[in-house]
Structure 1
Amino acid sequence: MKKSLKLFTVSAATVLTLTFASQSFAATGTFSDLGNIASKDKIATLQQKGYVNGISANRFLPDAKITAAQGIQLIVNTLGLNIDTIRFFKEPQATDYFPKADDNAWYEEALIIAANNDIGLPADLDPDKIWTREEFTHQLILATEKHGRLPMINIKPIEFGDLDDLTIDYNGTIQRALVLKIASLDAQGNFNPKVEITRAEAAELVYNAVEYLEAHPAPTQTPVVDVEE
């Protein structure tokens, strides 16, 4: 019995991983387990666009936690990152960039795409690590700024209750996320940086990031043409 239970648990986790990260289930209908989730409309929009999926046609599991690999896949999908214009001299592998990765894992392509789009992922990335709110937000902001070619801006730092809990290296990106209203504080004025991020929270953040980019499109790059007189 214990062996069967273990196998079932692994199977369920695998399904959860694949459905959040890819398009295993068609975006038909709506999720039935978002009743008390404030961001349910945003999640529904992402579902309709094919960015997020549930473990079934109508279950999203909003309170489930996400791994680094799942978070990266979500960022890659929603920002439309790709490697279409890159020519490789040899077939790339995830371990070329992240030694802790598995080249046979479902997330390999997402990690290769993320690495070649230079979105600031650390070389010691552990794809199976559960990400915290500050980790996901940090990586999302770096990717959003890079992909959207957002200009550097001077901001007035926002004070919040648990600022001292924030990892120092993430302070700048978290502050920009708050100023740009991609992220927000809770009712008590805290960011909860060390709390493991949920599927619902991650989905809301990427929705806000995409919405910001749509409202602030990257400037068109005009090619320089030499004209002979």
Structure 2
Amino acid sequence: MKKLLLPFILVLLLSLPSLCFADTQPFKDVDGHWSDKEIQLAYKNGIMQGVAADLFNPEGKLTRAELAVCLDRIFDFNFDNLRFIKAPSPADYFDDVEENQYYSQSVMELGFFNVFDIPDRKFKPDEEVARIEVAQTIAKCFEVKNLNVVTIQMWPQFNDIETTPDLAFIHNTGIMKGRGEGGFAPKAKITRAEFAAVLNRTMSTIKLALPNENEVSEPTVQIDIRGEVKSVVKDGDKISSIYVEGVLTEDTRYDKATIRITDDTAIATCVKGADLPVQDIHQGSIVEVTFTGPVAESYPVQATAKLLRIIE
């Protein structure tokens, strides 16, 4: 009797894959789609979600808000090494991004690191994004996170767009390739299914860029000036401006600057977790400063500090 039951049980188990061999993917609209496995992997790794509990909408177009959220998940942008005089908000970077939206925090973090090239402060979160914007923002993320990837030295040629370093990087890493006969289709809107595949290849490239999976690269921003604080101006108990003199190097833009300090200025220290209030900036402090907004091209230049890193 036991010999008869065993084959029966095996047949029963095999006939009920939903009980014993269920996919981790809950989406009913991707079965048979070319991206089924790509979507399953992106979902399993927590880097892309559906549009509903059981729907992914693979042919739907990716929005800029979705792009920001997914890039934040995969590159892990944060302010852990920064201390703000005033807590930042999305409105500090974009005029049309409200608080408490599912994308607000991600947009704010990517906005701080200038991942998106948006000069008019209009993020347009619901706007569908083109392939070229996806390529440019991913390349920028690698740059900001200090992720160096060894690739073959190729300068791909496309018949519909001039090749840039960003495009060469994206192409040579295999994150995104051309589309059609010799073109990149830069203005074509990218679908959610296509982006799932792009994210998976991006994740694989990130792993190649890190010595080990536990190492986290600290995000960087452009340094406008590095030098010694020569004078400090206070408004009551608060520092309102500093004057800095330094030496021009390959990674700096100015050697002398009068720099305004505002409530929106982020203060960072060289030692993560160190407690060094902005009030402790004094004559003789060595700082690195990134500017925000217009720079008065006088000499010394005049600008507002976006990020002030205290070196010593």
Relative to the length of structure 1, the TM-score reads: 0.71
Aligned to 1:135: 133
Aligned to 1:66: 62
Contact kept in structure 2, 1:28 and 1:57, CA below 8 Å? no
- Which whole-Å deviations, capped at 9, do the CAs of 1:62-105 have from their partners, x for residues lacking one? 11112211111110012222222321111211110122322353
Alignment gaps of 5+ in structure 1: 1-26, 224-229
CA distance in 1, matches of 2:151, 2:114: 20
Higher percent of residues as strand: 2
Counterpart AA for 1:211: S
CA apart distance, 1:56: 3.2
Aligned to 1:184: 177
CA apart distance, 1:145: 3.1
Q: 2:199 aligns with which of 181, 206, 209?
A: 206
Aligned to 1:159: 157
Aligned to 1:174: 167
Choose 29-38 or 138-147, whichever is displaced more: 29-38
- Which whole-Å deviations, capped at 9, do the CAs of 1:91-136 have from their partners, x for residues lacking one? 2111101223223533221112112344354343332322111111
Aligned to 2:90: 94
- Seen in structure 2, the aligned counterparts of structure 1 residues 145 and 36 have a Cα distance that, compared at 3 Å, is farther
Higher percent of residues as helix: 1
Contact kept in structure 2, 1:149 and 1:218, CA below 8 Å? no
CA apart distance, 1:137: 1.5
CA apart distance, 1:210: 1.1
CA distance in 2, matches of 1:202, 1:144: 17
Q: Which has the higher contact order (CA 8 A, sep 6+)?
A: 1
CA distance in 2, matches of 1:85, 1:139: 22
CA distance in 2, matches of 1:107, 1:127: 8
- Who wins on radius of gyration, i.e. which is larger? 2
Aligned: 1:85 with 2:81? yes
CA distance in 2, matches of 1:61, 1:198: 9
Alignment gaps of 5+ in structure 2: 1-22, 218-269, 271-312
CA apart distance, 1:189: 3.2
Identity in percent: 23
- Seen in structure 2, the aligned counterparts of structure 1 residues 132 and 36 have a Cα distance that, compared at 3 Å, is farther
Please give the secondary structure, in 2, of the residue aligned with 1:87: strand
Counterpart AA for 2:168: Q
CA distance in 2, matches of 1:123, 1:102: 18
Equivalent pairs counted in the alignment come to 191
- Seen in structure 2, the aligned counterparts of structure 1 residues 153 and 119 have a Cα distance that, compared at 3 Å, is farther
Counterpart AA for 2:206: L
Contact kept in structure 1, 2:71 and 2:138, CA below 8 Å? yes
Contact kept in structure 2, 1:83 and 1:116, CA below 8 Å? no
CA distance in 2, matches of 1:177, 1:127: 24
- Seen in structure 2, the aligned counterparts of structure 1 residues 28 and 57 have a Cα distance that, compared at 3 Å, is farther
CA distance in 2, matches of 1:146, 1:218: 17
Please give the secondary structure, in 2, of the residue aligned with 1:163: coil
- Seen in structure 2, the aligned counterparts of structure 1 residues 205 and 90 have a Cα distance that, compared at 3 Å, is same
